[in-house]
Amino acid sequence: MKLGWAGRWLWRLALLAGAAVALLQLWYLGWVVAYRWIDPGETAFMSRERARIEKLRPGGGLKHLWVDYGAISPNLKRAVIAAEDARFIEHEGVDWEAIQKALEDNRRRGRPARGGSTISQQLAKNLFLSSERSYLRKGQELVITYMIEALWGKRRILEVYLNVAEWGDGVFGAEAAARHYFRTSASRLGAEESARLAVMLPRPKFYDRNRGSEYLARRTATILRYMGDASIP
């Protein structure tokens, strides 16, 4: 069956679109491979925050200092896994059980309260993507997540995540967070300090402004109880 001129053009457009998507995935893959050994200087999310802060406060910037995995307290590693991704060591990037539980919890509450995203998914989004809510963005997030899981190890994933996670208004990474909130280094964070930082992760700017939050205190106590069961790479 021969295609008319409109069909031929549609076919060519489809091929071009497919090629563009393939090239984009290769671009992401190249950076994922590079970041296996090279520490990211600034993530996509950090760049957006830097622009926002400089617009509000000309001359302002981010608080961020990279530290190696061994220079981050095991307390913080356990706390973040306990609070954000209890099955981090076990899953392959996406925790489908956690997603199902989050959907059930949200349905019961009648509003979206939990997302079910793993540490690997959050890292993929922070490194490369926007925070917009769309199926297209979520699909790209999953592709990058599986790239990261296939090419890195859990130790590297946790190291990069802890160094690029947002912990306050312009505060990024464990070292900057430890200095900002406790005037200490990431390596010297105690169990309670670590649990508190882990609880801040879903709403870092809010808790930066509301450090006396009752929920923050209650949730910190809960994470302290779970930290002993958290396995770290």
> For 9-31, how does the pLDDT look when each residue is reduced to its tens digit (9 = 90+)?
676 777 777 788 889 889 999 99
pLDDT at residue 122 tops 80 = yes
Find the range with the poorest average confidence among 111-115, 158-162, 216-220, 227-231.
111-115
Identify the DSSP state of 86: T
pLDDT confidence tier of residue 66, bands split at 50, 70 and 90: very high
* pLDDT at 154 > cutoff 60: yes
Other beta carbons within 10 angstroms of residue 37's beta carbon come to: 8
Provide the residue ranges of all domains of the chain, joining segments of one domain with +.
Answer: 1-35, 41-229
pLDDT: which is higher, 81 or 58:
81
Higher local confidence (pLDDT), 55 or 222: 222
Domain spanning 41-229, CATH architecture: Orthogonal Bundle (1.10)
In the predicted model, is pLDDT for residue 109 greater than 60?
A: no
Pair of tokens at residue 82:
């306990």
176: left (phi over 0), alpha (psi -120 to 50) or beta: alpha
